[in-house]
């Protein structure tokens, strides 16, 4: 049997949860404020990767802080109401937490990320939920992944996994020295080959089916 990972870190949006309706509403509110064309959901999924501190200056220039404020007003109006778990996620997490310590690393603003985790009543699954602004840099930097690993009391290394849905997530995993695991087919990000993961699973159910085949490590009994 293959050994279980020492820790499993997860991306949030489109990996564990679907809150894209609120993100689209926030982006389009900012675009309207600045007289820019609005984005379809397909455009949102294809272009939302980096943290706001990196992506908004490229779109809005020196006015990006004002755009940020407009975005957050619109998002906060509905992000908890439209938030939904990705299919099969809750039972997968219930299984995964018996195999390795879990944490989240997202480029969503830290307080908003933790509000969403709490809203789904998933706090008990995770040792930490690290969002944009929590570490010295955001994904694809290794810094937030290393922060989450410290919360799990696990060193960085290929024995630890980072699971996400985009090429940027795979880049962050490799920057942190972790195994890069793709969840889904990345059709919104160039496909599986473009992401070049170390492992890939079609969905949460496929990931869970793999996890049950792994040999649990002694670290779980000592956690």
Confidence label for 135 from pLDDT (cuts 50, 70 and 90): very high
Q: How far apart are CA 183 and CA 163, in angstroms?
A: 7
CA 160/CA 4 separation, integer angstroms: 9
Tens digit of each residue's pLDDT (9 = 90 or more) over 33-64: 999 999 999 899 888 877 788 889 999 999 99
Instruction: Tell me the pTM.
Output: 0.85
> What is the rounded CA–CA span in Å between residue 160 and residue 100?
9
Task: Report yes or no: 56 and 67 within 8 Å, Cβ to Cβ.
Answer: yes
Note the pLDDT of residue 217. 61
Could you tell me the pLDDT band of residue 222, with boundaries at 50, 70 and 90? very low
């Amino acid at each position: 049997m293959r050994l279980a990972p020492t820790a499993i870190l997860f991306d949030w949006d489109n990996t564990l949860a679907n809150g894209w309706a609120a993100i689209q509403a926030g982006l389009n509110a900012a675009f309207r404020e600045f007289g820019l064309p609005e984005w379809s959901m397909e455009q949102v999924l294809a272009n939302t990767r980096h943290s706001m501190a990196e992506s908004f200056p490229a779109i809005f220039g020196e006015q990006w802080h004002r755009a940020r404020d407009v975005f957050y007003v619109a998002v906060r109006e509905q992000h908890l109401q439209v938030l939904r778990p990705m299919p099969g996620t809750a039972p997968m997490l219930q299984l995964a937490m018996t195999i390795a310590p879990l944490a989240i690393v997202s480029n969503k603003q830290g307080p908003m990320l933790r509000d969403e985790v709490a809203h789904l009543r998933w706090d008990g699954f995770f040792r930490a939920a690290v969002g944009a602004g929590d570490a010295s840099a955001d994904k694809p930097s290794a810094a937030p992944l290393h922060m989450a690993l410290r919360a799990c009391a696990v060193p960085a290394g290929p024995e630890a996994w980072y699971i996400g849905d985009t090429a940027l997530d795979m880049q962050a995993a490799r920057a942190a020295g972790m195994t890069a695991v793709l969840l889904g087919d990345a059709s919104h990000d160039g496909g599986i080959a473009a992401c070049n993961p170390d492992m890939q699973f079609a969905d949460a159910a496929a990931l869970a089916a793999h996890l049950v085949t792994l040999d649990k490590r002694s670290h779980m009994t000592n956690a």
